[in-house]
Amino acid sequence: MDYLEIVNEAVGTLAINKMRTGLAILGIVIGIASVIALISLGQATQQEIQNQIQSLGANLLTVSPGSLNKGAVQTGAGGAQTLTLADAQAIATSPQITDIQNVSPEYSRRAQVITGKTNTNTQVVGATSAYAPVHEISIASGTFITQSDVDGMRKVAVVGPQVVSDLFSSNPDPIGKSIRVNNVSLMIIGVTVSKGGTGFMNQDDIVYVPLSTAQKELFGTDYLSSIALEAKSPDLMIDAENQIGYLLLARHKLKDPSQADFTIFSQQDILNTATSATATFTTLLSGIAAISLLVGGIGIMNIMLVTVTERTREIGLRKALGAKKRTIIIQFLTESIILTFIGGLVGMGLGIVISLVISHVASVPFVISPNAVLLAIGVSAGIGILFGWYPARRASNLQPIEALRYE
């Protein structure tokens, strides 16, 4: 059996009816391109979320207040007012805490920030000088908040690039300018380096003020919304978490850890949760795209069944001249595999182009998984065999005499 001759004949047969061949290939192209593009979108989203979480700081642990009971209603974690500046100071100075190198007490709340006739709603964070190293904040111009700013309850602010864009679009240098938060005037002393992000994870859309100013002047509180801590190394994260937990239980006079009025979670906990969510999202997208592949495969089977019907007399003549069933099966399977292989290659290229466009428009990383490409090629070949087998077998089972009589 001359396989090269079979391939040449299959190509020639498919070229006879270009419109029908093109439509059959189109179904596979759309299916493969959809799978690659949607998997790429899911993985790019996952990578972007990971980048944003990692940009919050290295070896990061965060202590948040526990839930708050209001009658029969229990708020979520962070609703209580159980963390104080004294807790943060105890963590920083306790001899029991040996695996932490920076402690950042924080109070944050969204607020309207105004300058002149322009305003924006953004996150206002009360911070100390430890905030910058813990969260890996760099300054593009000016200075960050210092301990003397906190001690003196100075009315100063450090703003992110997005805040500058929203409030000072005509003047990109806001140093020395004033903004108002809750009718308190603050002078801008610094602008942070852009870290990117969107929505509530936008690290560029934040106004930093001295912690004491935020608590006493802006919001009138005496508690913290969180305490961020930097472990000395990734290997010490669990030990550090245990040390902090035991210290706070003792300070809050709690013996049962299950009754803790605070929650400690690590950067890895957040990353694992986000990764799990985006993996589910990617799987969902892939499942939707797989439907396109199924439809494309059914389209190829229909085309091949029509081809068998049209070439019934040709099949009968071949069998009458001694062609074996195996030869007939290979002939039609070859045509089916060529259709899906060409569709797979074109779909792969189209999927990569679509992924590149999506990454540019959505400002997410361009991620193409080799596994997705190999899967696309493998699936296209599998579809050719799977959906081409029945028409090929049907052709091989035709009786020569009946096939020659077919009109």
Burial bucket for residue 191 (CB in 10 Å: 0-12, 13-18, 19+): buried
Averaged pLDDT, 51-59 = 65
Q: Place 28 in a pLDDT band, splitting at 50, 70 and 90.
A: confident
CA distance 407 to 396: 18
Instruction: State yes or no: pLDDT of 99 exceeds 80.
Output: yes
Q: Which of 58-62, 100-104, 201-205, 288-292 has the lowest mean pLDDT?
A: 288-292
Instruction: State yes or no: pLDDT of 208 exceeds 70.
Output: yes
Q: Are 386 and 301 in contact (CB under 8 A)?
A: no
Average pLDDT score, the chain: 80
**What's the one-letter identity of residue 177?**
K
Q: Encoding tokens for residue 351? A: 């999927």
pLDDT recorded at residue 191: 94
Instruction: State yes or no: pLDDT of 91 exceeds 80.
Output: yes
Instruction: State yes or no: pLDDT of 294 exceeds 90.
Output: no
Burial bucket for residue 93 (CB in 10 Å: 0-12, 13-18, 19+): exposed
Residue identified by tokens 């890895």 is: 268
Higher pLDDT, 89 or 343: 89
pLDDT recorded at residue 5: 67
Percentage of residues of the chain with pLDDT beyond 70:
78
pLDDT recorded at residue 58: 59
Beta strand 118-127 pairing with 206-210: parallel
Q: Encoding tokens for residue 382? A: 């599998």
pLDDT recorded at residue 216: 93
Q: Place 70 in a pLDDT band, splitting at 50, 70 and 90.
A: very low
pLDDT recorded at residue 278: 73
* Cross-strand bridge partners of residue 264: 63
Write the pLDDT tens digit of every residue in 129-157.
999 998 888 999 999 999 999 999 999 99
Percentage of residues of the chain with pLDDT beyond 90:
27
Instruction: State yes or no: pLDDT of 382 exceeds 70.
Output: yes
Residue identified by tokens 């002939």 is: 331
User: Taking phi first (over 0 means left), then psi (-120 to 50 degrees means alpha), and beta for anything else, what does residue 152 get?
Assistant: alpha
Count of CB atoms situated within 10 Å of the CB of 171: 9
